[in-house]
Structure 1
Amino acid sequence: MMRYLLQCLLLLGHYGLYESRRIVIVPVPNVSHTSYLTNVARALVDLGHEAWVCMPAYVADQPVFNITGVHVIRYSSNEINTVDSYMKYVRDAYWKDENVDIQRMIDILFEHIEHMITDRDLENAIRAIQPDLMIIDNPPTMRMIAVLAYKLGIPFAFVGSMYDPIGYRVPFTPATLPSALFPYTEVMSFFQRSVSFGVYAIMILFEIFSYTDAVSRFAPEKPYLPIRELTSRAEIVLIESDPILDYPKVSLPNVKLIGGTSVSYAMPLQEPFKSFVDQAELGVVVVAFGSYIVDIPQKVSDKLIAAFKRLPLNVVWRVNMVSPDPDKILTSSWIPQNDLLGHHKVKVLVTHCGQSSQYEALFHGVPMLCMPIFMDQPYNAERTRSKGFGLTLDLKSSTTDEIFSNVMELYTNPQYKTHIRTASKLFKINYKLPKEQAAFWLDHVLQHGGDYMRSLGQTMPGYQFYSLDVLAFCLLIISLLSICCFYVIKTCISRLTVLISFISCAVLTQKHR
């Protein structure tokens, strides 16, 4: 019996349930990113750890998170809602058919990161917790938060949807890795491969989304490291990607593809959603364009309503408006999207193609009508279409007839349901619940560290990793050989010219004799 108890204790210790650790999580300060990282926090709590999630006041005050067992660190960042402002700016530019000012976008994001890193209250709150690990959301600008972890002497990890082989020092080829900036598939034309190559070349040569000297700016007391060399020292990097919804990607032992952490098994619906869905005889269409697209211009909402009224299906629509037909269209500024998609009566999801929405639809096997709006959404929509999980339309330019016919095609054509349900089965076999996979690997590095999984290429200077010094040496040798050959050829030609002249003179002299 004693031996059995000892084995149980050792097993509990191995999985993190025996030795509790303290973890601070820093998401992008908006609802969607905070939501999926809160899922990871709860999974860590289930393993016996203590987890704190950092939220600005404007996010923490929204009652949409399940924070059971999770602590919240509220911070103000000077009460400047910069990320929210940025998202609204990009959204409004879409509605107005205006090009997004990339420099303005970068400036807005940099402003927020600087506020976070220099927020003394936030720094002191984290310092007081004395965390064993800091988990940082991984969009490019957010990686500068690693400077705060470095300053406080806290090991850190990255969790998020951004796959950046350059930042993580993963060897790759741009010929098979389309950039999420463009709606390309992995099968690219010569032009698309050229664009992909150009994008990655720029990212290698220039630090666009971070200050290269972020350490000296924000932690001058610490030994200097370029930002890329600092971020490549993460204990582990967990990417919300997989070859089922996305395309195959190469990785290293400390770069794990885990699928989408927003997914979970569906909970029973609450009112008013339960009665509405239960009473739908033929089924339900769920319509949601994300937390920033709940106020829709009337011209667009009118054609959507006209299409929805023609459907034999009922509609649950996340939108900030009163339903024009409450018996057929249920409107709400918030919906339990994951729980709805898990209900057997939900047949189609009309979506903006946010990462979390797509993973929830994949997990529950619901075909998608993709209507992308901005950022990575066109890329997400194209991969969905190319894999047979749905169709794609433009939200602004599509007509009522097109919206109606596309929803009906997804509802009546069984190939879409077959494709996505086959993919859903594969996903569950391979990834089960990704938030639990994330918690497992984070617990693993807490117990054992991540050094043994780190490639040497993740710690060497960039010029060595990309063999730029070797290439420079080869170019030097080639240049010297070329110069030598040039002078040899030039000398030979010169001497041959003299010899030809001498022979010509000799021949002429002989003729005169």
Structure 2
Amino acid sequence: MTNSWRIIISLLYFCLISEVKSTKILVVSLPHYSVVAESNAIAVELVKRGHSVTFYLPSDFDNTKAVPDLPIIRYGTNMTAMFLSMAKKINDDVYADGANVYFTMRNMRIDFCNQINDVKALKKLKDEKFDYAIVNLLFFMKCIYLIPHNLNIPYASVSTAITELEIGHPAAPSFIPFILSHYGTEMSFFERVVNLFYHLGPTIMLNYLFPSYDVSKTMPKISYSEAEDLPKKSEIFLENSDFVLNFPKPTMPNFIQVGGLTTKAPKPLPTEIKKFFDDAPDGVIVMSFGSVFKPNKRTKELFISVFSKLKQRVFWKNDDAKIVNNIWMQPWLPQNDALAHPNTKLVIYHCGNNGMFESLYNAVPLLCLPHTADQLSNAKKLDHFHIGRSLSVALLTEEMILEAIQDLLTDSTYAGNITHLSRIFHSRPETPVERAVSWLEYVFKFGGGHLRSNQNKLSPFQLLMGDVWCFIFTVIVLGIYVAIYSIRKCLGFICKKKNKEKMN
């Protein structure tokens, strides 16, 4: 090939490259490993497609596992330690009476909102001149949206648990359980009443029960109520859910399900771990409770006793590295790779969203011990789809654990059902991450105004037609009152007339 042809081809190549506009993106995430892992999966795919991505994370957040290769702008002091400390307190409350969870959430919110709007860090963000933001949505941490609002850039929301009424989307409490409840789609009358109040709960909590945070330091021209409405202005909402594992629900055009963001093709296991799995003729049980929720001493002792009665080997993510009979405890667990091994028969975990999708991806039945938040609703889905079982953390006994494990290992319908759902999950033309990024690139190019309905201006009470039903009820009551009043007047007039005629 001559030099002139090489020059022509190079020019054509650069012309094609110039057609792809690179977007400079800021990811604003909560300081929780599993949440950052979801955002990082999207960020890595965006970088592959030629975009620039920077994370906004606390100064003490360990990014080596969650965000190993992308630039980070830091804010606050000891934010991650505070977040983990309060999450641990929630975990301890679950094992106790659970009464203090509400107060822990209140304190977590105030500390987080005070630190994320770090004046010095915001100055660095403004100097970077970002084009777009991806924000992690959690209903009681909406102050996080002050960051893109302050930078005056459009934004998208990503979340595991999106509460529809809080973002101005339609909710169907008659048959769709609130994401933080433990109900299924078939609810009794009383459960539907409670479910309605679950849907209204975030609004009641944030407006009347939680103290408001101070926005005056960074955004003096915006009120607390306006700050709380900022999530509604997101161009799209990416929910880490999927109708394969979630109950179907009505959605708007800018609401995209991208469940399974952290799922990926497995890598070979390290040599020692691989040998442990390969040499297990009766299979292996994988056990992990994530990075926050830890089983207490009693729960650990129950599981050790149960595992000693099983033929299967157990690979357990535990702070203590040791081998006890058929149990290998390690502080680190390549969970996705371990689930993909053909000898893995069961996974025991806390019912977190990412782990649930990783189990679906690898078609492994589950035994769940939900602690709080969306873990309760995830546990209900196991029963609904018959792909696993769940047990109460507070009421555990050795007999309950043993019976559940033996049922899951011997009843082939659990494995059959999750294998069927796994095939559906793998049948899509795009992976969850590819689908998320395709929609992000769509709004980078066209914006999201045409996807958004004007209903996001309505309050939760109006979205549920509460004002209309109150009006109808008032009209009916007034109608009945007028009718009764008129009838009584007419009867009184008739009686008076008859009395006069008798007297005459």
TM-score normalised to structure 1 length:
0.87
CA 1:203–1:491 in structure 2 vs 1: closer, same or farther (change >3 Å)?
farther
> How far apart in 2 are the matches of 1:491 and 1:9?
89
Which of 399, 402, 413 is residue 415 of structure 1 equivalent to?
413
Q: Which amino acid aligns with 2:83?
A: V
Q: Which amino acid aligns with 2:240?
A: E
Residue 162 (str. 1) matches residue 161 (str. 2):
yes
Deviations 1:415-443 (A, max 9, x none): 11110011011112237421222122112
Structure 1 residue 93 displacement after superposition: 1.4
Contiguous gaps of at least 5 residues in structure 2: none
> How far apart in 1 are the matches of 2:305 and 2:478?
73
Deviations 1:440-491 (A, max 9, x none): 2112211221111111212456676555665666566556655654553453
Residue 148 (str. 1) matches residue 147 (str. 2):
yes
Q: How does 1:86-101 map to 2 (within 5 A)?
A: 86-95=86-95, 97-101=96-100
> How far apart in 2 are the matches of 1:210 and 1:451?
32
> How far apart in 1 are the matches of 2:498 and 2:467?
46
Structure 1 residue 253 displacement after superposition: 0.6
Indicate the residue corresponding to 1:259 in structure 2: 259
Structure 1 residue 391 displacement after superposition: 1.6
Indicate the residue corresponding to 1:354 in structure 2: 352
Indicate the residue corresponding to 2:496 in structure 1: 498
Indicate the residue corresponding to 2:366 in structure 1: 368
Q: Which amino acid aligns with 1:154?
A: I
Q: How does 1:153-192 map to 2 (within 5 A)?
A: 153-192=152-191
Indicate the residue corresponding to 1:239 in structure 2: 239
CA contact (8 A) 1:259 1:431 kept: no
Indicate the residue corresponding to 2:115 in structure 1: 116
> How far apart in 1 are the matches of 2:233 and 2:214?
15
Deviations 1:121-155 (A, max 9, x none): 33123212211111111111233221221122011
TM-score normalised to structure 2 length:
0.89
Which of 393, 404, 412 is residue 402 of structure 2 equivalent to?
404
> How far apart in 2 are the matches of 1:243 and 1:189?
23
Indicate the residue corresponding to 1:511 in structure 2: none
Indicate the residue corresponding to 2:342 in structure 1: 344
Q: How does 1:10-25 map to 2 (within 5 A)?
A: 18-25=20-27
- Residue 141 of structure 1 aligns to a residue whose secondary structure is coil
Residue 329 (str. 1) matches residue 318 (str. 2):
no
> How far apart in 2 are the matches of 1:11 and 1:253?
31
Structure 1 residue 227 displacement after superposition: 4.0
Which of 42, 45, 50 is residue 44 of structure 2 equivalent to?
42
Residue 377 (str. 1) matches residue 375 (str. 2):
yes
CA contact (8 A) 1:86 1:109 kept: yes
CA contact (8 A) 2:59 2:78 kept: no
CA 1:315–1:465 in structure 2 vs 1: closer, same or farther (change >3 Å)?
closer
CA contact (8 A) 2:29 2:135 kept: yes
Q: Which amino acid aligns with 2:388?
A: G
Aligned length: 498
Indicate the residue corresponding to 1:301 in structure 2: 300
CA 1:337–1:445 in structure 2 vs 1: closer, same or farther (change >3 Å)?
same
Deviations 1:311-368 (A, max 9, x none): 222111011124242x632211221111111222211101110111101101111100
Residue 390 (str. 1) matches residue 388 (str. 2):
yes
Residue 287 (str. 1) matches residue 287 (str. 2):
yes
Structure 1 residue 110 displacement after superposition: 1.8
Indicate the residue corresponding to 1:433 in structure 2: 431
CA 1:300–1:431 in structure 2 vs 1: closer, same or farther (change >3 Å)?
farther
> How far apart in 2 are the matches of 1:469 and 1:114?
33
CA contact (8 A) 2:352 2:375 kept: yes
Residue 275 (str. 1) matches residue 278 (str. 2):
no
> How far apart in 2 are the matches of 1:260 and 1:124?
35
CA contact (8 A) 1:151 1:222 kept: no
Structure 1 residue 163 displacement after superposition: 2.5
CA contact (8 A) 2:93 2:100 kept: no
Q: Which amino acid aligns with 2:66?
A: F
> How far apart in 2 are the matches of 1:149 and 1:25?
10
CA contact (8 A) 1:22 1:133 kept: yes
Q: CA RMSD in A?
A: 3.1
Q: Which amino acid aligns with 2:380?
A: E
Contiguous gaps of at least 5 residues in structure 1: 507-513
